[in-house]
Each structure stands twice: as C-alpha cells, then as structure tokens.
C-alpha cells in the first residue's frame, strides 16, 4: 500500500486537466519533468504493432511522451495521458526487473485512468473508453508476442 500513498491523484488530475496537447508542451508530476509530443500514428506503425502512446527518456526533461493524436476520439486523450504519466512516474520508483516493474506500473495506472474516466464520462462514453482500452491492450499483447 506504500506505493499507492506516493500517488497524488488530485495533483495528477490537475496536471492532466491543464494539458492543452500542444507540441513540445512542458509539465511535471511527482518530481519528474515531461515534454509532450503529439504525433501521427501511421499505417506502418499500426501494421508493425507499434504503440500509439509511449514515453522515453529525454535529453530536455526527464521523459518525453509521444501521443498519437489520430488514433482515437480526442475525448479520450486525458485519461490515456493520465495513464502514461502515472505509469512513467511509477516505473521510475519501482524496484525489480524492467518487465515486472512495467507490468506493475501498468496495472496501477489502469486503476487510476479507469477511476478518472468514470469521473469525467457518462455511462455510454465510459463503455466506449473501456472498449478502446481493450483494443489497446490487445495491441500491446500482440506487440509483446512478436
């Protein structure tokens, strides 16, 4: 439970709600600096099973988040970004091998992006969001099998 105490959900929500999804947008959460790079998800990336959202170490901040702005309805941007920010933040503090830490960070981030989606969406939109998340998990699962 100690790890969950390190998650400031209200602060995370505030960060996400202030994001404008502009190229090279700087923000921070939990002591880490991020730069957001909205980008296009190409057909080639889709065929390769590449993820439309990912983060990498940055030369200009702690992490860069690449966020495909053509992958889904923009109304889902904020909970997906909340997931990516939290997952990256947790991965930075979890102990263990990379794969185990990533899986744990992903599971926790799923709980929080689900909570956020329930707060901001009506029932129908929330169901649509859950369908999107299932599609993304299948994409991720296919990628890890290759």
Domain boundaries, the chain: 2-145
For residue 16 the two structure tokens come to 């996400």
Per the prediction, the chain carries an average pLDDT of: 90
Rounded mean pLDDT of 90-98? 87
- 92 burial level (CB within 10 Å; 0-12, 13-18, 19+): middle
SS3 of 130, please?
Answer: helix
Residue pair 104/90 in contact by the 8 Å Cβ criterion: yes
Indicate the pLDDT class of residue 4, thresholds 50, 70 and 90: low
- Given the structure tokens 């998990």, which residue do they identify? 137
Within 1-145, strands assigned E span 25-29, 32-39, 53-57, 63-68
Q: Please give the residue that has the higher pLDDT: either 64 or 141.
A: 64
Residue 138 pLDDT > 80: no
Tokens 């994409």, residue located: 139
């Amino acid at each position: 439970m100690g790890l969950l105490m390190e998650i400031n959900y209200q602060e995370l929500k505030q960060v996400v709600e202030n994001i404008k999804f502009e190229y090279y947008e700087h923000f921070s959460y939990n002591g880490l600096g991020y730069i957001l790079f909205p980008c296009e998800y190409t057909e080639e990336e889709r065929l390769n099973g590449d993820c439309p959202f990912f983060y990498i170490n940055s030369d200009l901040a702690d992490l860069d988040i690449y966020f495909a702005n053509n992958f889904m309805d923009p109304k889902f941007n904020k909970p997906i970004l909340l997931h990516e920010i939290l997952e990256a933040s947790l991965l930075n503090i979890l102990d263990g091998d990379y794969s185990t830490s990533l899986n744990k960070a992903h599971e926790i981030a799923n709980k929080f992006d689900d909570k956020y989606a329930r707060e901001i969406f009506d029932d129908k939109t929330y169901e649509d969001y859950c369908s999107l998340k299932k599609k993304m998990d299948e994409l991720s699962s296919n990628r890890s099998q290759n």
